[in-house]
Structure 1
Amino acid sequence: MGTKAGAWRKQLLLFTSAVLCSLALGKGTVYTSEPEVRVAENNPAKLPCTYSGFSNPRVEWKFVQGTTTSLVCYNSKITVPPSKPTVNIPSSATIGNRVVLSCSEQDGSPPSEYTWFKDGMLMPTDPKNNRAFINSSYTLNQKSGELVFDPLSAFDTGEYSCQAQNGFGTPVMSNAVRMEAVELNVGGIVAAVLVTLILLGVLIAGIWFAYSRGYFDRTKKGTSSKKVIYSQPTARSDGEFKQTSSFLV
């Protein structure tokens, strides 16, 4: 009797029900041919589930233990908790521009949803409904993990981090990265333009001065070669002066 009791204690009793095979509400039916399955511990278990009346359903398997319900299988994949998300945050951005911050992780199943934090404070999906963020203009997509400022304001300077969670394990936080919202340096741009114009004016004045002083003409004269023209003498009588040859330089 004790041996049988020990054997029963080593068995895993699994119950399948409509909760075990959870589908979206609809007019279809969900049923199982084996409402009670007994499997020895450490052995594989096959839990049958059949459904009909659904078009392209998403099947989820859940494990119920007391008041706790855990998702076991999602979209034909075993559930996996999220890994530490990575963020793409600029160290500085210009006030008035559109700025995109991104957050993602690849291991979670089902896919993770993302929440953002600024200086350790949870950012609401709508900043206008929160007094702490009412001066900011951003949109937050929890599915894609994008945080878009349009436009960026001076208020948006701070340290940003995001958190990934999919209902399994503990939500995971990314590293915090500081972003500075800076003013457009109008004075620097104007100064650079003025310096460029001054240098251009000096260059033009130098070229004009060289032309007016004849430096370019002298250079041409100094480099030109002299031409020598040779002509044969004309035939003359014996009483006339005879020129043998002539050179014209």
Structure 2
Amino acid sequence: MAVRRVSGVLLLLHGCVVLAVELSTVNPNPEVQEFQRVELSCIIKNSNTNEPRIEWKKIRNEETSYVYFDNTIQGDLRNRAEIQSQSSLVIFNASRTDNGKYRCEVAAVEDQKKFAEIIISLTVRVKPVTPQCQVPKSVPVGKSAVLHCRENEGYPSSVYKWYRNSDALPDDSKTNPKFLNSSFTVDAHTGTLAFSTINKGDMGQYYCIATNSAGSARCEAQLLEVYDLNIAGIVGGILVVVVVLVLITVGICCAYRKGYFANNSRGGGLSYKNPDKQDGVNYLRSSDEGDFRHKSSFII
């Protein structure tokens, strides 16, 4: 009786082992250049059948979608991928949209509840494009200045390096004796080169290089000029303008006083004035004859 029980337990354990599925992979984190071939290996080490159920799913931004289901490639990988070596997924023309995690699921046909899975993280490297660089044309001595460098195509995200006249700039000017006279900092992740107080020694040709694991790209060099601020000239110019305005104002006032801007009652500019009346003479005016005079002794 005991022998039969032991045999039954051994048979049950054997069945569990047979139904179990074990997977492995050559590379759980493959990386590939964009437009190249990549294999996501999913190797079946143990299974009770030569035709297990195989499925591939993609996990990205917390969303899961089928890549291989019912013996057919699904989604945007259709015509770009296939299953090789029984269960491995091969992508022939990798795209930046293929970045993400892929889950290989293999189940024994006899018992679909007995399955194994393995997750592979795929990184498709994209070379940076030419970054957009913004360099001010001229800055006065003693002022602040900010230079920008950015590109948005590379994957993984690019890091940035600034150069002046072919000399690589450190992240902080105070860390390099060659740039102690400068006062700048570089943010390698945002591509920003910031001068707190610029001086004549900072003048030169500036360019930036964007780099990631897929390659690098640089922008064209641009000249940054640094000029002295002529305070005396500015003050002198302001004084000249003030003097000119004062002279114009004085001239206008004098013209008003002399009557050059007075309104004239007649077009000729000459004022009409009646002749002085003599004492003892009475003047009469008619509409036809104008003025005429008579003496007080005139008798009608």
Range into which the TM-score falls when normalised by the shorter chain: 0.5 to 0.7
Native 8 Å contact 2:41 2:89 kept in 1: no
Q: Distance in 1 between matches of 2:209 and 2:238?
A: 45
2:247 aligned to 196, 202, 219, which one? 202
Native 8 Å contact 1:164 1:172 kept in 2: yes
2:136 aligned partner: 90
Native 8 Å contact 1:93 1:99 kept in 2: yes
Secondary structure of 1:164's aligned partner: strand
Q: CA deviation at 1:215?
A: 1.5
Q: CA deviation at 1:191?
A: 2.6
Native 8 Å contact 1:104 1:145 kept in 2: yes
1:113 aligned to 159, 164, 169, which one? 159
- Whether 2:199 is the aligned partner of 1:189: answer no
List aligned pairs for 1:69-80, cutoff 5 A. 73=123, 78-80=124-126
- Whether 2:71 is the aligned partner of 1:16: answer no
Native 8 Å contact 2:140 2:228 kept in 1: yes
Q: Distance in 1 between matches of 2:183 and 2:254?
A: 57
Q: Distance in 2 between matches of 1:158 and 1:36?
A: 61
Secondary structure of 2:90's aligned partner: coil
Give the aligned length.
185
Alpha carbon RMSD of aligned pairs, Å?
3.7
Q: CA deviation at 1:79?
A: 2.2
Q: Distance in 2 between matches of 1:143 and 1:158?
A: 23
2:103 aligned partner: 48
In structure 2, give the amino acid aligned to 1:188.
G
Secondary structure of 1:214's aligned partner: coil
1:168 aligned partner: 214
Native 8 Å contact 1:160 1:179 kept in 2: yes
1:137 aligned partner: 183
- Percent same amino acid at aligned positions? 30
Q: Distance in 2 between matches of 1:100 and 1:60?
A: 42
Q: Highest CA radius of gyration, 1 or 2?
A: 2
Q: CA deviation at 1:201?
A: 1.4
Gaps of at least 5 residues in structure 1 are 1-13, 22-31, 51-58, 62-71, 227-242
Distance 1:33 1:175, change over 3 A: closer
Name the stretch that deviates more: 207-216 or 131-140.
207-216
Q: CA deviation at 1:118?
A: 0.8
Q: CA deviation at 1:178?
A: 0.9
In structure 1, give the amino acid aligned to 2:204.
G
Native 8 Å contact 1:34 1:48 kept in 2: no
Native 8 Å contact 2:27 2:41 kept in 1: no
Gaps of at least 5 residues in structure 2 are 1-23, 32-39, 46-82, 92-101, 106-118, 272-283, 292-300
Native 8 Å contact 1:33 1:48 kept in 2: no
Q: Distance in 1 between matches of 2:194 and 2:208?
A: 13
Distance 1:185 1:141, change over 3 A: same
In structure 1, give the amino acid aligned to 2:187.
N
- Whether 2:171 is the aligned partner of 1:125: answer yes
Native 8 Å contact 2:29 2:120 kept in 1: no
Q: Deviations over 1:70-113 (max 9, x none)?
A: xx51xxxx321101112100111112222110001121011111
More strand by share: 2
In structure 2, give the amino acid aligned to 1:85.
P
4+ residue runs over 2 A deviation = 14-21, 32-38, 43-50, 219-224, 243-249
Q: Distance in 1 between matches of 2:225 and 2:162?
A: 17
